[in-house]
Structures are given as structure tokens and as C-alpha cells.
Amino acid sequence: MAYHDNFINQNERDRMTPPEPTVAAYDYKGEPIYEGEDYYSFDETYFKPQDAMDYLLASGAIEA
């Protein structure tokens, strides 16, 4: 059974389908950071704000 959608043609399908997200950078773990997402940069290494503590600990910081 063939797949059918409600688009008239390929041009309409392309126009109405959102584009794939673009990778802006990769964080220190190798995970993608997409355009529009917040991230920090330190010594040319990127990390997301929610990963700040993990990044510091992975970089050798000691929790006191």
C-alpha cells in the first residue's frame, strides 16, 4: 500500500514541511547545539547553560 498525504504536489510539500534544524556547534560531550539554542563558550569549548556545572567538573574543577 502506497503512502498518500494531503499535499497537491512536491512544491507544496516542500513549502509546508519545516526545514531540518541546523547544527551551530557541538558541545564538550560531542552533542549538537542547534541554531537558536543558548550556549556558552570557554576556551573554544561550548556547553549549554544547564550543563555548566557538569562542564566545570569535567574540566577538573573541584566541588567544595
pLDDT along the chain (64 residues), means of 10: 77 87 94 94 93 92 85
In 6-56 the beta strands, taken as DSSP E runs, fall at 23-26, 32-34, 40-42, 45-47
- H or E element in which residue 15 lies: helix 10-16
Which is nearest to 32 in space by CA: 46, 49, 18?
46
pTM: 0.65
pLDDT score of 6: 82
Q: Cite the beta strand spans of the chain per DSSP E.
A: 23-26, 32-34, 40-42, 45-47
- pLDDT recorded at residue 1: 59
Q: Residue 53 has what pLDDT?
A: 94
Query: And the C-alpha cell for 61?
Result: 574543577
